[in-house]
Amino acid sequence: MHFLMQFAIILSVSFAGEALRALLPLPVPASVYGLCLMLALLCTGVLKPETLRPTSQYLIDVMPIMFVPSCVGLMNVFGELLPVLLPFVAICLISTVLVIGATGRMAQFMIRREGRQHDA
């Protein structure tokens, strides 16, 4: 029953992101709104990380399975992708490196901030 409640909370935040995308005239994806809402809820203490940890860990564990349909879709359109394969691969590599770097920097920032809060 706990998993259903945790999953309902995650879906509710995602739905709120969809609602914000529909309401606000900004070119921001609904998933970004949802992530920002979840971050705000976690940072303000409205939601505790322990509340969602089991379900979020499960979703992370099954995430690789979610990429299978998109990979199969790429295989279906490989002939159309072939002429732009080099720029496509370059963009994928560059964006991956940038995302990894930004994630690492943010993790370091949060770890340092958490350390200062415990010291105070």
pLDDT for res 120:
60
pLDDT tens digit sequence for 27-80:
999 999 999 999 999 999 999 999 999 999 999 999 989 888 888 888 888 888
16-29 residue pLDDT tens: 999 999 999 899 99
Average pLDDT, the chain: 91
Reported for 8-16, long-range contacts at CB under 8 A and 24+ positions apart, including other chains, are: 9/47, 9/51, 9/52, 10/38, 10/52, 10/55, 10/56, 10/59, 13/37, 13/38, 13/41
- Residues 106-114 have a mean pLDDT of 90
Q: What is the pTM of this model?
A: 0.64
